[in-house]
Amino acid sequence: MASPTPHFTRAALEKRVAGFRGRRVLVIGDVILDRYLWGRATRVSPEAPVLVVDVDKEELRLGGAANVAQNVRALGATPVLFGVVGQDAAAQSLRRELQAREVDPDSGVLVDPGRRTTLKTRIIAHNQQVLRADEESREPLSNTVLEDLWRRVERALPEAAGVLISDYGKGVVNASLLSRLLPVLKSRGIPSAVDPKEEHFQSYRGVTVITPNLAEASQAWGRRIRNDEDLIEAGHDLRRKLDAGAVLITRGEEGMSLFTPEEHTHFPTRARRVFDVTGAGDTVVATIATALSAGVPLPEACVLANHAAGLVVAELGTAVATAAKLIESLEDLPVG
């Protein structure tokens, strides 16, 4: 059954955002360091038919689960980040970036000397990305590192108001970890939100909400989602197969669609302009998880996530929606 897009008052949603403060959200997943080289392309290299970019500025930003954690922090909650880095310069830089954004890198970010810290370098010329270079390890975690990671997560669970799994397919999120974690969350009544990777889809059984984009949902469903009829069928099928509380399919400029056992609801995009979708999925799942940790019903959490995503796509590169900006974005809603 289709449900009309819910309408909530500004006062009610502002109260929900205020309730985020201090909520403890465990963020488990693949931490990434994003490196941006900004410059100008004025000539072609004499060595090969490629542009030469004169670099004016270098900037480091958090990506993957690290970006999710800083989004949770920006919303006023307290993220506890769990992931794995290498013993390299990128790990040191990532640690500094986390500390600068008030995200603790010590509780759950493990160092594995046998791995490389995931580093994505993007070269930007005249506000256009011209090249991306990735340095990373994708191998599964060793048993020793996996056991250490699980022990740390287990110790943190008693104080967790919510758990967020950020899967970028770099090896931290795996079937072994999920088979331990998800039943514990369900038995303790701790809400869980997953930003998925296609190859692990069947391992996310029992989550509170999973947030694939349209391409990920199509691959998990086994057929390309071509129209609204396909979307509705896919959303309900995926929810049933995963025995999930809900599936939220993010659809870029088309907004997002929520599927629960009773109904499906469409949320039109709140973006007034789209400059860069990098990190928008991180913002959506961070807002959903933070809202659930504060006891916000899922439809209201989706409205807030939709507003938050509209804020970050208006900026180039990974960005965050602060609690203040999120509240400001609600100004066009009925007062109450």
Q: Are 308 and 283 in contact (CB under 8 A)?
A: yes
Query: Active-site residue among 148, 167, 282, 332?
Result: 282
243 noted as active-site residue = no
Distance CA 206, CA 183 (A): 8
Q: Give me the residue label for tokens 């009829």.
A: 229
Q: Give me the residue label for tokens 């008052």.
A: 9
Distance CA 184, CA 162 (A): 12
110: which strand partners?
84
The region that residue 268 occupies, defined by phi over 0 for left and psi between -120 and 50 for alpha, beta otherwise, is beta
**Which residues are catalytic, by number?**
282
